[in-house]
Structures are given as structure tokens and as C-alpha cells.
């Protein structure tokens, strides 16, 4: 009975984490796509620091607090994701309410390039970790 309850608890944690990573991956992709690599277009482009935020997902905190229950490769993925979220949160805090009004022909400012790279890393990490979680969820369901 105890083993079955542990398995159900692990499955629940994995399913909640999977959903949180799905949301986070979507939000990171949206942020990445809102900051073009180069601003070579005919109209101006506005980018707001207020966009550098993510849903507050308790499941990710639960996963972090239960890191030892995951296989090492998933735990490492979650650690990289946490680092990317931290970096983007810090970029938001540093930028405050800043708005970049970019004009035709301007290059992406270095701070926006870094935010774009971090968002891309976060989106990729969330998708990769979800694939690993999917295999674990299947194993827990058997």
C-alpha cells in the first residue's frame, strides 16, 4: 500500500511539473518571439520590460523542493530552468518599467539580446525536460 501511495504521489508531482513546464515553455517562446534578433524592418518596434515575467507556478517550486525524487537528468533540467527563470526575473528587476522604442535599422540592444537568448534557453529546456518527464510518467503509469 505504501509503495502504491508513493508511486501515485510521484505521478502527481510529475504531472503538475509537466503542466507548469508547458506553460513556462509557451511563455518563454512568446517572449523570445517578441524580441527579434535584429531590428531591420520598416516600422518601429516597441519592447517592454514588463514582458519579462512568467506565471507563478507553484508546481515548479514543488518540483524544486522535491528534486531528489527525479532522475538526475530531469533534476539537472529543472535546475537549468530555475537558473533561466532567475536570470529573466533579474533582468525584469533591473529594467523596471523600461520601454525600448526601436527604429528601423537599429540593432538589438545587448540587454535585449541577452533576454532573447535566455528565453530561448528556457523554452528549449522546458520542452526537453517535458520529453524526459513524459517517459517517467509512462513508467509510473505502468
32: cell is 523570445
Averaged pLDDT for residues 18-25: 96
Cα–Cα distances in angstroms (integers) from residue 95 to residues 52, 85, 91, 100, 137, in the given order: 9, 15, 6, 10, 39
CA 91 vs. chain centroid, Å, equals 14
pLDDT single digits (tens) 90-127: 999 999 999 998 887 778 899 999 999 999 999 999 99
Nearest Cα to Cα of residue 39 among 98, 138, 136, 105:
105
Q: Which domain holds residue 99?
A: 2-141
Compute the distance between CA of residue 42 and CA of residue 51 in angstroms, rounded to an integer: 23
Grid cell, residue 14, equals 510529475
The predicted-structure confidence for 73-83, as pLDDT tens digits, reads as follows: 999 999 999 99
Residue that is written with C-alpha cell 516600422 in the block: 43
> Predicted confidence band at 39 (pLDDT cuts at 50, 70, 90)?
low
Q: Quote the number of domains for the chain.
A: 1
**Closest among 17, 37, 19, 15 to 119, alpha carbons compared:** 37
This prediction has a pTM of 0.88
Amino acid at each position: 500500500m505504501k509503495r502504491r501511495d508513493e508511486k501515485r504521489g510521484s505521478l502527481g508531482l510529475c504531472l503538475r511539473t509537466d503542466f507548469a513546464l508547458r506553460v513556462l515553455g509557451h511563455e518563454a517562446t512568446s517572449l523570445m518571439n517578441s524580441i527579434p534578433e535584429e531590428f531591420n524592418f520598416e516600422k518601429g518596434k516597441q519592447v517592454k520590460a514588463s514582458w519579462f515575467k512568467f506565471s507563478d507556478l507553484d508546481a515548479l517550486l514543488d518540483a524544486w523542493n522535491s528534486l531528489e525524487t527525479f532522475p538526475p537528468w530531469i533534476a539537472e533540467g529543472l535546475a537549468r530552468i530555475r537558473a533561466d527563470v532567475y536570470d529573466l526575473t533579474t533582468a525584469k528587476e533591473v529594467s523596471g518599467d523600461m520601454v525600448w522604442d526601436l527604429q528601423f535599422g537599429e540593432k538589438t540592444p545587448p540587454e535585449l539580446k541577452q533576454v532573447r537568448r535566455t528565453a530561448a534557453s528556457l523554452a528549449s529546456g522546458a520542452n526537453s525536460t517535458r520529453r524526459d518527464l513524459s517517459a517517467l510518467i509512462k513508467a509510473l503509469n505502468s
